Structures are given as C-alpha cells and as structure tokens.
Amino acid sequence: MTAIPATKKKTTLGSWINQENVAGYMFSMPFIVGFLMFMVIPMGLSLFYSFCKYDIQNPPVWIGLENYIKIFTKDPTFIKTLKVTCYYALIGTPLKVVFALIVALILNHETKAVPLYRATYYLPSIIGGSVAVAILWRRMFESTGTINALLGKIFPFLQSYNWFSEGPAIWVLIILTVWQFGSSMLIFLSALKQIPRELYEASHVDGANTNQQFWRVTLPLLTPTIFFNLVQQTINSFLAFTQCKLITNGDPRKSTLFYTVYQYQKAFPAVGKSQMGYASALAWIMLVIISVVTALLFWSKSKWVYDD
Amino acid sequence: MKKILALVLSLMMLCMAMPAMADGLAVGTYDPATAGTVEFSFGWWGNQVRDEVTKNAADYFTENYPNITFNLNAQSWGNYWALMSTYAANNDLPDVMQQDYAYIEQWVEAGDLLDLTPYVESGALDLSTMPESVIATGKVGDGLYAVCCAVNAPAMLYNKTLTDSLGIEVPMNITWDQFVEISKKIYEETGVGAIYGDGNSENPLTYYARSLGYTALWDENGLIPTAEEMAGYYQRLIDGVAEGWLYDTDKLAGVNTNDLAQYPMVYGASNEVRAWSAMCFSNQVAAYTAAANADGIELGFSTWPSTDPVKSNYMKPGQFFAVTTDAENPDLAVAFLNYLLNDVQGNILLRAERGVPPCNGTAAAIADEVGKIDATYPASVEYLAFVGENCSPIFPPLPSYAGTAQTEVIQMLAEECLLKGTSMTAEEAGQMAVEMIADIASSF
C-alpha cells in the first residue's frame, strides 16, 4: 500500500477555530445559549403548560383550551387585574413621560450644577425596581409614616390618612412609577441636544417667542423620542411586579392587584396547589395584550410622530 | 410542671385518637465514621426566634457528626410552600423538610415524602415515647410519612397592659358575645380595634363550624355547614365593621398582619393602627412575647372566641418533620430526625419553640431547662393543659382543594364582608361560599 500524498493541510484546533464562520458562531454562542435556555425553551414549555393542568409536583395533564376558556368565562379576578393594570399603565405612563420631559427641559441648560442634578434625578431609576425602595415606600405611606407626618403639618385632617385603602392605594404605586422617571429623562435630554441650533435661530429671527419655539420646534422634533419612551414605559408598566407584590400585594380587595402578581399567585400560591398551567395561559394572554397595545401605538405613530 | 406535662401528653392521646401502623423493610443506620464529607439540607418556615434555635440545634448535631455541612433554608410561611414546590419540581427538596398537618396528604400523593416505617422498625427512628395517637397523625394510608415534632393549640393573645388599665378581665373560654363586648369597650375608650376573620386563614371559619357541632369545616365535596350557618359567621364580620371595632378591609390593608413582629397588637405608633388581640397558635407565644417586650407591653392568654369554646377548641399536632424522596442520604436524614425528636440537649437548644415536644421522655427531660431559658414556656404548657381539658378531637387533614378554596373564595368573601358599607349581605356570602367551594372541590 502506498501512502497517499497529503494534498490538504491537517486541520488543527487552532486553524479550525480561526475560520471566520466558526469564530462567528463562537462569539455569538453566549447569546444563542442564553436565548435558547432562558427564552425559547421556557416560552415553549409555558405554551405547552398553558394547555395543561399542571401543579408542579405532579406531571402535566393535557386539557386543551380549558384554562383559556375558564379565564375568559369564569374568572372575575382576571378582568379585575386587567382593569387595574390598564389603569396603572395608561395613567402612570403618560404622567411619567410628561414629568420626565418637564424635568429634561429644566435641566437642558449649560450650568455647572446640571450634571449633578442629572445624576441625582437619575438615581431613583437605578434603585427604583429594588426591594428596598418598595419597602421604604410602604413605610413612608403608612398612616404613621413620613408622608402623613409632613402632610399633617399643612393639612391636619390628613394626619392619619390611610393611603392603603381602596382608591388611594393604586396611586401610591403610580406615584412610585412617576418618581422613577430618570431613564426617560436621560433619553429626552440627549434628544434635546440633537435638535439643530439653526432651527431656534431661524424661528427667533422669524419672531417666535420661547413658548412658540417649544410648541413649534422642540415638541415636534421630540415626538420620535416621546414615542419611544411611551412604548418602552407602557410595556414596562404592563410587566410591573415588585412594587405591587411588596407594597400592597394586591390589597385591599384586589384593587391594586397587577396582572403579573395575579399570575404569580396562581403559579406560587401561599397555600394550596400551584396552578402553573393556568398561570402560563395568563402569561400568553398578556403577551397578546401587550402586542396589541404596542401595535396600536405604532398604528397611531403616523398621526402624531414627526418623521423626516 | 412535669405533672402538667404528663397531663397534656395524655390528653393529647385522647384528643387525637387515630388508627395504627403497618410494617416495612429493613434499612441501615448512618455511621459518620465511614461516611465522607456530606452536605445536608433542612428547610422550615417560621420566625426569627425559630431560625436561631434551629440553627443552634443543627450546630450541636455537627458535634457528633463533624463531617456534615448544613444547608439551612429558613422561610416565612408565605414563601415556604411556593419555594418547596419549585424544589420538588426540580427534585431538589431539602433532605428534611418541615411539614404541616393540613398539607401532608398532598405531598405524599405527589410522591415527595419518604415512608419512615422501615426506620421505626429498625430502631433508627425511636418513637417509643411518642403516643401512638400522635404518631398516627403523620400517617397516610399504611405509611408513616412525617413525624409530629410539636403540639400546640389555637390561642388568643391580648394586650394585657391595655385591658388591665381599662379594668377589663378577659376570661378563658371566652365566648363570642364576651369578645364583642370587650372589643367594643376597648374601641370606644381608646380607639384600639380588633382583628378577626381577615382573609389570612380559614382557621376562624373552622373554629366557627366546630362551635356548631361539626368536626371539620369541609370534606371531599365542599363545606360541611349549610349556607344559612355560614351566613351566621359572615354576619359577625359585617356587624363588627358596622359597629366600628372590627378592622375593615381598608384598615387591614394599611397594617402588616403577615409579619408577626409588626402585627398591630405589638406594633404601631398610634391607637388607630393598633389591635388589642391576635388569633394565633400557642407556639407563637415566644415570638409574640419578644415583640411585645420590645413594645413595652405584657401579653395575656385566652382561647379563641366561640359560642361553644369546648366544641371549637382542639389540640393540634403543630408541625411535622418529613424526610423527602430527594434526600441523597436517607439514613443520615433519619438520624437527624431522631436527634430532633429525642436528643435532650438538642431539644433544650430548640427551646420547644415549635411547641411542646410530643415524645413524653423528651418533654419531661427538657421542661425545667427550657422554663429557665424561656419564661413563656411554663405558661404555654399550662395553657395546653387547660385546652386539653376543654377541647374536642381535631378535624382530619384538609382535603387537597382546601388551599385553593382558601385563596380564591374564603379570602375574597372575608374582604367583601369586612368592607365598610359593603353591599354584600351575610346570606349572599354564605350562599356563595357553599356554591363556589363545592365547585372548586368538584373540579379538583
């Protein structure tokens, strides 16, 4: 037997890895693995569970559309939490965006203290979603808390106001989300810097005052940013969890029960069996709702967002 | 002290009469000398005091078993079950877990708990001084799946400093009418309210059903009392709120009733957010007393209010320890379990915080020592002796749908009836309770 002359160079690990496509796959591997493990597989599983009766401890049993039918026909809490979540999202989000815009406009000046202010105002957003803030918030609004102590100095009848009663309780959560306006504010600030100086100069020459400049120049040019913030924050509001779980836990009478917390209570009840299948079905319904709301926002885009 | 203990333990036997046990296979015992280094996990729910004493007891165990590293998992009641069921899904339960009388059945059905019968027969688990009737409370079918580690009873704690200052005497075996009268008087004179029937648990309802002569609140098919009888309970809540002395739904949302240390009986800067009493269990006395001491008040004991306290009251096998099927080393888990039940020094370290130990030998051996460390212990023992003489046999373990019915129906109805100016009538609430719970029971 004669040896076949080596026509091809032997592939070493080094040369194999140096190939462009292999390197590409290697670099994107962390994302691909993470995406599969923590997104695609769990989502697939939850879609499967949503058609099952599944209590975590025992194997899932296929029941078809039963969970979905029960949610839409026999679950008043579903409707209630949906209302609460929409109220929170549709009132909290615009308030937050407007508040962020106002603060951004105030901070859009070149003075020495501005960087300090920006950092200070951004701080609540960094610590915002945390457990510590939620607990602090609860303490502040307790009937013997800081807020009532301060309010009581001005309005004595508010001294022992119960912020956690039905009605005001949801506003405690809305005020918290509005207070966390920092990230939207930073986006507004950078957008404000992008507006060409010439436009202001030109409008000034044409005799526009500051007020007119804001409505005719600043605001139209900010609409893409407002749109972005609105979409981002609306989705965040629909997915809000920590605030509700830790501050009110849905009390009183589910008047502050967010959809996500309801879902969690179904999946991990304090007593009794888990209804993971039911909770998964709730999650998929939420996905559809968020998609629809986002689609509506995008549909409205052509009506009010200035696009050049 | 020992006399009272003996009385308590013998009464326990009477109060918890149940069937006997079956046989099984021979198993090994754990020998630390031949085993390598092992990690051992132990999970429970409780409070700060319990966490500390349990840690001390686990540390002491490692003196004899130095190759063990403990992985202790202390949770609040609210988080415990959710966490444990996720562990169960992952086959990653702690080697030994705390269990509750109400939920054992559901965990055995899921195949998560180990049958301990063979270990009792091999002698690795010594239950020789535990009354047969108490052992039986941990049985499901023929198997022994959990061992009772403490006995307790429902207890009403109250702010004795407050009642003394108003010249009010709170009697033992307090009736519902007496409770209402006292609550009204306290509310009118100080503005301090009372908390009763909030959605946290079905226990007050069970207590009410028992006062009517039933043993339990529910069976496999739903509620045992009729809609009219249930309405009687909801009427109490509606009346209490209308009269002002009972915490309404809004007021409850403004206080923390889940965290013992912040419970309105022992916490709160103004009378509007205080309550004069708390419906709890006798094993929570030590923790409540610690909080009361921090608050500068003294606590008193009575039973829960009921029209017929003797029918309502019961001795409860407080908590259970179970070895899970995920335990890597069941022999070691059983050795630890045996230590928790029978070791005198270990039980002194545990300070009977979970309740009076059910093994007669252990209970008698630790009585004096624990009494020295924990001043509330003799009072608890005395209280249990009283309840033992004034109680009826406990209800059977809860049906598997009970937890869901509790969160979806009982809590909801309590919130509606406790709402100020509620539009719901007691009759409607009673009717809804019966119908909705029957519905849940049938679909489970």
Q: Residue B24's pLDDT band (boundaries 50, 70, 90)?
A: very low
The answer on pLDDT for B208 being more than 70 is yes
Least confident interval from A199-208, A267-276, B11-20, B83-92: B11-20
pLDDT in the model for residue B443: 82
Nearest CA in chain A to B409: A77
Write out chain B residues lying below 8 Å of A164, CB-based: 250, 253-254
Q: Which domain holds residue B412?
A: 154-313+397-443
The answer on pLDDT for B361 being more than 80 is no
Helix (H, G, I), strand (E, B) or coil at B66: coil
Question: Which amino acid, A10?
Answer: K
Does B107 share its domain with B236? no
- Angle made by CA atoms A247, A248, A250, in degrees to the nearest 5: 140
Q: What percent of chain B is modeled with pLDDT above 70?
A: 92
Write out chain A residues lying below 8 Å of B406, CB-based: 271-272
For residue B189, the domain's CATH number is 3.40.190.10
Q: What percent of chain A is modeled with pLDDT above 70?
A: 96
Contact B406 A160 (CB under 8 A): no
What is the spatial distance between Cα A235 and Cα A230, in angstroms, rounded to a whole number?
8
What is the spatial distance between Cα B39 and Cα B42, in angstroms, rounded to a whole number?
10
Does B7 share its domain with B87? yes
Nearest CA in chain B to A56: B89
The answer on pLDDT for B79 being more than 50 is yes
Helix (H, G, I), strand (E, B) or coil at A174: helix
Strands (E), B296-432: 299-302, 316-323
Contact B107 A253 (CB under 8 A): no
What's the ipTM? 0.78
Over range B298-321, report the average pLDDT: 91
The answer on pLDDT for B25 being more than 50 is no
Does B30 share its domain with B143? yes
Write out chain A residues lying below 8 Å of B250, CB-based: 162, 164-166, 252
| CATH tag, A66-304 | 1.10.3720.10
Summarised one tens digit per residue, pLDDT across range A46-99 is: 999 999 999 888 889 999 999 999 999 989 999 999 999 999 999 999 999 999
The answer on pLDDT for B369 being more than 90 is no
Summarised one tens digit per residue, pLDDT across range A98-133 is: 999 998 988 887 778 888 888 888 887 777 567 888
Half-sphere CA count of B306, side-chain side, radius 13 A: 29
Calculate Rg over the CA atoms of chain A: 26
Candidate from A58, A160, A252 with C-beta closest to B272: A160
Burial class (CB in 10 A: 0-12, 13-18, 19+), B249: buried
Q: Where do the domains of chain A lie?
A: 66-304
What is the spatial distance between Cα B208 and Cα B305, in angstroms, rounded to a whole number?
9
CA nearest neighbour of B230 among B436, B11, B12: B436
Domain-ending residue, one of B389, B414, B435: B389
The answer on pLDDT for A7 being more than 80 is no
What is the spatial distance between Cα B60 and Cα B57, in angstroms, rounded to a whole number?
5
A236 near B CB under 8 A? no
Summarised one tens digit per residue, pLDDT across range A17-54 is: 778 888 888 889 999 999 999 999 999 999 999 999 99
- Helix spans in chain A (H): 13-18, 20-35, 41-49, 66-74, 76-107, 114-128, 131-141, 146-154, 168-179, 182-194, 197-205, 210-213, 219-238, 242-243, 259-267, 276-304
Over range A152-160, report the average pLDDT: 84
What is the spatial distance between Cα B227 and Cα B346, in angstroms, rounded to a whole number?
49
What is the spatial distance between Cα B248 and Cα B259, in angstroms, rounded to a whole number?
19
H or E element in which residue B148 lies? strand B147-152
Contact A57 B416 (CB under 8 A): no
CB atoms within 10 A of CB B13: 15
Question: Which amino acid, B39?
Answer: E
Write out chain A residues lying below 8 Å of B81, CB-based: 269-271
Question: Which amino acid, B27?
Answer: V
Return phi, psi of residue B358, to 5°: -80, -15
Beta bridge partners of B45: B75
Burial class (CB in 10 A: 0-12, 13-18, 19+), A24: exposed
Query: Smallest CA–CA separation between B4 and chain A, in Å?
Result: 35
Helix (H, G, I), strand (E, B) or coil at A1: coil
Over range B213-241, report the average pLDDT: 94
Contact B407 A268 (CB under 8 A): no
Over range B123-151, report the average pLDDT: 87
The answer on pLDDT for B102 being more than 90 is no
State the average pLDDT for chain B: 87
Return phi, psi of residue B302, to 5°: -150, 180
Summarised one tens digit per residue, pLDDT across range A229-264 is: 999 999 999 999 988 999 998 888 899 999 999 999
Over range A152-156, report the average pLDDT: 87
Over range B108-137, report the average pLDDT: 88
What is the spatial distance between Cα B427 and Cα A227, in angstroms, rounded to a whole number?
52
Candidate from A77, A252, A267 with C-beta closest to B253: A252
Does B174 share its domain with B267? yes
Chain-centroid distance, C-alpha A294: 13
Candidate from B86, B88, B268 with C-beta closest to A144: B268
Does B131 share its domain with B220? no
Over range B126-138, report the average pLDDT: 84
Write out chain A residues lying below 8 Å of B107, CB-based: 57
Does B247 share its domain with B296? yes
Domain-ending residue, one of B350, B365, B389: B389
Q: Residue B104's pLDDT band (boundaries 50, 70, 90)?
A: confident
Contact B249 A169 (CB under 8 A): no
Domain-ending residue, one of B389, B412, B428: B389
Helix (H, G, I), strand (E, B) or coil at B40: strand
Q: How many domains does chain B have?
A: 2
Chain-centroid distance, C-alpha B384: 14
Which residue carries 């569970």 as its tokens?
A: A49
A139 near B CB under 8 A? no
User: Is B308 within 8 Å of B211 (Cβ atoms)?
Assistant: yes
Does B184 share its domain with B68? no
Q: Residue A5's pLDDT band (boundaries 50, 70, 90)?
A: low
Summarised one tens digit per residue, pLDDT across range B383-403 is: 888 888 888 888 888 888 888
- Angle made by CA atoms A249, A173, A162, in degrees to the nearest 5: 75
The answer on pLDDT for B20 being more than 50 is no
Contact B85 A57 (CB under 8 A): yes
pLDDT in the model for residue B23: 36
What is the spatial distance between Cα B376 and Cα B397, in angstroms, rounded to a whole number?
29
Question: Which amino acid, B56?
Answer: N
State the average pLDDT for chain A: 88
Estimate the crossing angle of helix A182-194 against helix A114-128, to 10 degrees.
Answer: 140
User: Is B250 within 8 Å of A166 (Cβ atoms)?
Assistant: yes
Which of A271, A274, A280 is best to mutate for the B interface (most B CBs within 10 A)? Answer: A271
Burial class (CB in 10 A: 0-12, 13-18, 19+), B56: middle
Does B103 share its domain with B218? no
Q: Residue B222's pLDDT band (boundaries 50, 70, 90)?
A: very high
The answer on pLDDT for B258 being more than 90 is no
Q: Residue A4's pLDDT band (boundaries 50, 70, 90)?
A: low
Estimate the crossing angle of helix A76-107 against helix A219-238, to 10 degrees.
Answer: 150
Does B304 share its domain with B332? no
Per-residue tokens: A97? 């965006």
Does B22 share its domain with B142? yes
Beta bridge partners of B159: B299
Chain-centroid distance, C-alpha B403: 15
